Structure 1
Amino acid sequence: MHTLDDLKAGRLAGVTRLNLQCGLEHFPKEIFDLADSLEILNLTGNRLSELPEDLGRLHKLEVLFCSDNRFTQLPESIGHCPALEVLGFKSNRIEQVSPAALPRRLRALILTDNCISALPEALGDCPDLQKLMLAGNRLRELPQSLARCHKLELLRIAANHLQALPDWLLQLPRLAWLAYAGNPLPAPYCAPEDAGHCPRIDWQHISLAHVLGQGASGVIYQANWQQQDAAVAVKLFKGQMTSDGSPLNEMRACIAAGDHPQLVRLAGRIDNHPEQLPALVMQLIEPSWFNLAGPPSLQACTRDTYASERRLSLSAVKRVAAAIASVSEHLHRRGITHGDLYAHNILANEQGQCLLGDFGAASFHAADGGPTAAALQRIEVLAFGVLLGELLACCEDDCSSLRALQRRCVQPEVLLRPAFEQISQQLQKIATP
Structure 2
Amino acid sequence: MHTLEQLRAGTLAGITRLDLSCGLTEFPREIFDLADSLEVLNLSGNAMSSLPDDLHRLTRLRVLFCSDNLFTELPACVGQCAALTMIAFKANRIEHVPGAALPPLLRWLILTDNCIGELPTELGERPYLQKLMLAGNRLQSLPQSLRNCHRLELIRIAANQISQLPEWLLALPSLTWLAYAGNPLETEADAAALAATPSISWSQLSLEQLLGEGASGLIHRAAWARPGHADTQVAVKLYKGEMTSDGSPLHEMNACITAGIHPNLIRVEGRVVDHPQDTAGLVMQLIEPSYRNLAALPSLATCSRDVYAEDTRFTADVALRIARGIASVAEHLHRQGITHGDLYGHNILWNEQGDCLLGDFGAASFHATQDTLESRALQRIEVRAFGVLLGELLERIDSGLSDGERRRLEDLQQRCCQPDVLARPGFDEVIQVLND
Q: Normalization by structure 2: what TM-score? A: 0.97
In structure 1, give the amino acid aligned to 2:197: C
The corresponding residue for 2:44 is 44
**Aligned-residue identity in percent:** 62
Cα offset for 1:193? 5.2
Cα offset for 1:288? 2.1
Structure 2: runs of 5+ lacking an equivalent:
none
Decide whether the 8 Å contact of 1:113 with 1:137 is kept in 2.
yes
Say which SS state the counterpart of residue 383 (structure 2) adopts. helix
Cα offset for 1:192? 4.8
Say which SS state the counterpart of residue 267 (structure 1) adopts. strand
Decide whether the 8 Å contact of 1:268 with 1:282 is kept in 2.
yes
Decide whether the 8 Å contact of 2:239 with 2:280 is kept in 1.
yes
The corresponding residue for 2:189 is 191
Deviations for 1:169-206, whole angstroms, at most 9, x for unmatched residues? 000000000000000116xx243555432111111111
**CA–CA separation in structure 2 for the residues paired with 1:52 and 1:97:** 17
The corresponding residue for 2:419 is 412
The corresponding residue for 2:408 is 401
The corresponding residue for 2:256 is 254
Deviations for 1:4-38, whole angstroms, at most 9, x for unmatched residues? 10101111111111111111110000000111110
Which segment is superposed worse, 203-212 or 143-152? 203-212
Task: Provide runs of 4+ in structure 1 moved above 6 Å.
Answer: none
The corresponding residue for 1:345 is 347
In structure 2, give the amino acid aligned to 1:29: R
In structure 2, give the amino acid aligned to 1:226: A
In structure 1, give the amino acid aligned to 2:211: L
In structure 2, give the amino acid aligned to 1:407: Q
The corresponding residue for 2:429 is 422
Say which SS state the counterpart of residue 397 (structure 2) adopts. coil
Say which SS state the counterpart of residue 21 (structure 1) adopts. coil
The corresponding residue for 2:209 is 210
**CA–CA separation in structure 2 for the residues paired with 1:194 and 1:56:** 55
Decide whether the 8 Å contact of 1:181 with 1:191 is kept in 2.
no
2:275 is the counterpart of 1:273: yes
The corresponding residue for 1:125 is 125
**CA–CA separation in structure 2 for the residues paired with 1:83 and 1:117:** 28
In structure 1, give the amino acid aligned to 2:420: E
Decide whether the 8 Å contact of 1:325 with 1:420 is kept in 2.
yes
Decide whether the 8 Å contact of 2:63 with 2:86 is kept in 1.
yes
In structure 1, give the amino acid aligned to 2:431: S
The corresponding residue for 1:290 is 292
Decide whether the 8 Å contact of 2:205 with 2:223 is kept in 1.
yes
Decide whether the 8 Å contact of 1:182 with 1:190 is kept in 2.
no
The corresponding residue for 2:199 is 200
The corresponding residue for 2:134 is 134
Decide whether the 8 Å contact of 1:195 with 1:253 is kept in 2.
no
Decide whether the 8 Å contact of 1:181 with 1:190 is kept in 2.
no
Say which SS state the counterpart of residue 314 (structure 2) adopts. coil
**CA–CA separation in structure 2 for the residues paired with 1:168 and 1:276:** 41
The corresponding residue for 1:152 is 152
**CA–CA separation in structure 2 for the residues paired with 1:364 and 1:255:** 12
- In the TM superposition, 1:357-376 aligns within 5 A as 357-376=359-378
Cα offset for 1:55? 0.4
**CA–CA separation in structure 1 for the residues paired with 2:192 and 2:116:** 30
In structure 2, give the amino acid aligned to 1:199: P
CA-based RMSD of the aligned residues comes to 0.9
**CA–CA separation in structure 1 for the residues paired with 2:153 and 2:216:** 22
The corresponding residue for 1:220 is 219
Q: 1:385 aligns with which of 368, 384, 387?
A: 387
Decide whether the 8 Å contact of 2:225 with 2:232 is kept in 1.
no
Decide whether the 8 Å contact of 1:247 with 1:360 is kept in 2.
yes
Change (3 A) 1:371 1:31: same
The corresponding residue for 1:12 is 12
Which segment is superposed worse, 189-198 or 36-45? 189-198
Say which SS state the counterpart of residue 96 (structure 1) adopts. coil
**CA–CA separation in structure 2 for the residues paired with 1:212 and 1:124:** 41
Decide whether the 8 Å contact of 2:23 with 2:47 is kept in 1.
yes
Say which SS state the counterpart of residue 219 (structure 1) adopts. strand
Decide whether the 8 Å contact of 1:190 with 1:363 is kept in 2.
no
Deviations for 1:49-80, whole angstroms, at most 9, x for unmatched residues? 00000000001100000000000000000001
**CA–CA separation in structure 1 for the residues paired with 2:100 and 2:233:** 55
Deviations for 1:235-274, whole angstroms, at most 9, x for unmatched residues? 0001110000000000000000000000001100011111
- In the TM superposition, 1:297-308 aligns within 5 A as 297-308=299-310
Say which SS state the counterpart of residue 18 (structure 1) adopts. strand
**CA–CA separation in structure 1 for the residues paired with 2:211 and 2:81:** 41
**CA–CA separation in structure 1 for the residues paired with 2:297 and 2:103:** 25
In structure 2, give the amino acid aligned to 1:361: A
